[in-house]
């Protein structure tokens, strides 16, 4: 039950196709599949909030999660990519032998 006086507020606008909503490191994260972007936003920032573009993907669809060491993994057309320190996505695991189709979701087991 919501607290008395609570109200809904809009976190972000101008998202074409938001997917993969996640809470991580006290921030809200999501993919915008149409824009090909992984976004992160500080929910405590004043409005209008401007998300940080963390990565750009050329795969569709694409989703993400984190390894135990904090490395972000992103689904791609060939399997999994990892977010490198320079913000690029680099191959992590080739999964074409498992399926020739792209990947829609990833969940990392807490132990990595």
Domain boundaries in the chain?
A: 18-94
- pLDDT value of residue 102: 77
Q: What is the pLDDT of residues 40-70, one digit of tens each?
A: 999 888 877 889 999 998 888 889 999 999 9
25: left (phi over 0), alpha (psi -120 to 50) or beta: left
Task: Provide the pLDDT for residue 3.
Answer: 58
Collect the ranges in the chain with pLDDT lower than 70.
Answer: 1-5, 112
Q: Give the model's pLDDT for residue 86.
A: 92
Burial class (CB within 10 angstroms; exposed 0-12, middle 13-18, buried 19+) of 69: exposed
Alpha-carbon distance 80 to 92, whole Å?
5
Q: How many CB atoms lie within 10 A of CB 27?
A: 17
Picking from 95, 97, 71, the residue whose alpha carbon sits closest to that of residue 84 is 71
Position 112 scores a pLDDT of: 64
């Amino acid at each position: 039950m919501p607290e008395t006086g609570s109200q809904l507020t809009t976190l972000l606008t101008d998202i074409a196709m938001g997917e993969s909503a996640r809470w991580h490191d006290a921030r809200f994260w999501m993919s915008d599949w149409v824009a090909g972007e992984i976004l992160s936003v500080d929910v405590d920032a004043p409005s209008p909030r401007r998300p940080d573009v963390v990565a750009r993907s050329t795969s569709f669809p694409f989703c993400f999660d984190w390894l135990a060491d904090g490395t972000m993994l992103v689904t791609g057309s060939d399997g999994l990519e990892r977010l490198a320190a320079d913000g690029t996505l680099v191959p992590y695991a080739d999964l074409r032998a498992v399926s020739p189709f792209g990947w829609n979701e990833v969940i990392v087991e807490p132990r990595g």
